[in-house]
């Protein structure tokens, strides 16, 4: 028995032309696999095990699109063992028993071991995981599990002790670019027959939008090419601009049927920003008289308290929340006065958009750099496995130091030294600015000594 049809993951060779590009482009051989050099590079434990056909029970732990299933399929193609695969979403103890019975028959008749690949193994409950134990321990079945969840929490301890956890990482940007380039030129399984050209900036944009996920990167490429593959050959060119137009959703600015609604809220917001309490009260009254939802106005005021005032007056957010609670308690019409009180406070408070600007820059930075890994020394390490992987190693507990402050890096390595929050001299934010500058000076002093 090569596999269980009902639960099989299939192979890329079986994929139809209508299958998604990410499915068609799964590599069939280890030599074609791009990325994860710490696992399959020359001389690594897994590479030797594959070459010598001496696979051990293991669990692939990594984020979506990091190649867990692809690597398992490569094992299916390169091992001499019987390979069975099924998804934990679709199967249970009954199917596990069937696999074990078949594995025993194959061993007795052909002296051939069985490799069992379980996708999303974290979805199995304790009883289902327990069913594997005696057969993994006896060697009848070599278990390969795949999970996006931390095995320390999702896999039972007895099974975890009988397997080796292999951690897959997000694909590096250059690896994903190579994967997309291969998909563009592969004439059998990829897009090569369409002779599509793509400049480096376009490919890099699609890669960065995928956040290290190979499947998402290939889906991005497929979405963009679907818009041009029917054009004349000379027009089948992907540029950074065309990639952005294909992949980024643009929201409409206004609902044309409610233009006055947006005009009024805009006037209200800008009057508060301009520190004009009279205009603020007027536009607030216009909206309430017109029947605008008071909770909608309060939501906009809460946004304003953080966007336009921020830490220049931290009480602005608290007072606006208090107005929301007061209105909720009193209702119309008496509750309108609480809204008016908060609106005048917001209009007359010191203004700073430093928080708004800093957070906007933060989101832009994340979009450009993707989800960088958390530095090991500030990761949570509640389990033995995580400690063995150096989670939490060399972390300095701030309260053990003078003033509860210690010079230590908290940003990912690629972003160290990046400053996103620039407090102003407005209101209370001036005090925050002095504190922040003092901490930054102390940190820099420590680093330069």
Q: List the chain domain ranges.
A: 12-167, 176-181+191-247, 256-348, 354-448
**pLDDT, tens digit, 9 for 90 and up, residues 180-216:** 999 999 999 999 999 999 999 999 999 988 889 999 9
Q: Phi first, then psi: what are they for 291, rounded to 5°?
A: 95, 15
**pLDDT, tens digit, 9 for 90 and up, residues 51-75:** 888 889 999 999 999 999 899 888 8
Contact 339, 280 (CB under 8 A): no
Distance, in Å, from the CA atom of 323 to the CA atom of 304, rounded to the nearest integer, reads: 14
Residue 277 has pLDDT above 90, yes or no: yes
Residue 253 has pLDDT above 60, yes or no: no
pLDDT of residue 75: 85
Q: Which of 32-36, 95-99, 387-391, 436-440: highest mean pLDDT? A: 32-36
CATH architecture of 12-167: 3-Layer(aba) Sandwich (3.40)
pLDDT bucket at 333, cuts 50 / 70 / 90: confident
Share of the chain above pLDDT 90, in %: 49
Asked if 12-167 and 176-181+191-247 have one fold, the answer is no
Chain mean pLDDT for the chain: 87
pLDDT of residue 2: 41
Q: Cis peptide leading into 105, omega within 30 of 0?
A: no
Q: Which of 1, 25, 31 is nearest to 12 (CA)?
A: 25
CATH architecture of 354-448: Orthogonal Bundle (1.10)
The verdict on domain 256-348 having CATH code 1.20.272.10 is: yes
β-partners of residue 145 are 59, 118
Distance, in Å, from the CA atom of 351 to the CA atom of 101, rounded to the nearest integer, reads: 72
pLDDT of residue 292: 82
Taking the CB of residue 272, how many other CB atoms lie within 10 A of it? Answer: 28
Q: 176-181+191-247, which class in CATH? A: mainly alpha
Query: Cα 328 to the chain's mean position, in Å?
Result: 36
Which DSSP letter does residue 198 get?
A: E
Mean pLDDT of 240-252: 68
Distance, in Å, from the CA atom of 212 to the CA atom of 172, rounded to the nearest integer, reads: 6
pLDDT bucket at 356, cuts 50 / 70 / 90: very high
Separation in Å, CA 372 to CA 38, 119, 172, 179, 375: 18, 25, 10, 20, 9
pLDDT of residue 9: 44
State the pTM of this model: 0.67
């Amino acid at each position: 028995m090569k596999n269980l049809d009902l639960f099989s993951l299939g192979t890329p060779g079986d994929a139809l032309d209508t299958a998604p590009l990410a499915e068609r482009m799964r590599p069939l051989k280890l030599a074609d696999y791009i990325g994860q050099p710490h696992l399959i590079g020359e001389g690594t434990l897994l590479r030797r095990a594959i070459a010598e056909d001496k696979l051990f029970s293991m669990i692939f732990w990594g984020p979506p699109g990091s190649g867990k299933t692809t690597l398992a399929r490569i094992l299916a193609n390169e091992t001499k063992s019987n390979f069975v695969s099924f998804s934990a979403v679709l199967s249970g103890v009954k199917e596990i028993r069937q696999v074990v019975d078949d594995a025993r028959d194959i061993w007795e008749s052909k002296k051939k071991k069985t490799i069992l690949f379980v996708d999303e193994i974290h979805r199995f409950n304790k009883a289902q995981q327990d069913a594997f134990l005696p057969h993994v321990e006896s060697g009848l079945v070599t278990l390969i599990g795949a999970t996006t969840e931390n095995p320390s929490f999702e896999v039972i301890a007895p099974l975890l002790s009988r397997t080796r956890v292999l951690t897959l990482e997000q694909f590096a940007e250059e690896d994903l670019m190579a994967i997309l380039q291969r998909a563009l030129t592969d004439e059998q399984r990829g897009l090569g027959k369409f002779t599509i050209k793509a400049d480096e900036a376009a490919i890099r944009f699609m890669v960065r939008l995928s956040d290290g996920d190979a499947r998402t990167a290939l889906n991005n490429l497929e979405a963009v090419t679907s818009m041009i593959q029917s054009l004349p050959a000379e027009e089948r060119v992907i540029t950074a601009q065309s990639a952005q137009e294909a992949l980024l959703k643009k929201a409409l600015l206004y609902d044309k049927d409610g233009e006055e609604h947006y005009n009024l809220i805009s006037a209200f917001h800008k009057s508060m920003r301009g520190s004009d309490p009279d205009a603020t009260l007027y536009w607030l009254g216009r909206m309430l008289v017109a029947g605008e939802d008071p909770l909608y106005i309060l939501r906009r005021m809460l946004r304003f308290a953080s966007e336009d005032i921020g830490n220049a007056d931290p009480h602005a957010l608290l007072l606006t929340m208090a107005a929301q609670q007061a209105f909720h308690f009193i209702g119309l019409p008496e509750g309108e006065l609480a809204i008016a009180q908060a609106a005048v406070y917001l209009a007359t408070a010191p203004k700073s958009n430093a928080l708004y600007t800093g957070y906007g820059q933060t989101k832009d930075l994340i979009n450009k750099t993707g989800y960088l890994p958390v530095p090991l020394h500030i990761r949570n390490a509640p389990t033995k496995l995580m400690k063995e992987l150096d989670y939490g190693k060399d972390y300095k507990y701030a309260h053990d130091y003078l003033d509860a402050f210690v010079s230590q890096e908290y940003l990912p390595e690629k972003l160290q030294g990046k400053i996103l929050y620039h407090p102003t001299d407005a209101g209370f934010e001036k005090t925050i600015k002095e504190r922040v500058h003092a901490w930054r000076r102390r940190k820099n002093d420590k680093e330069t000594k």
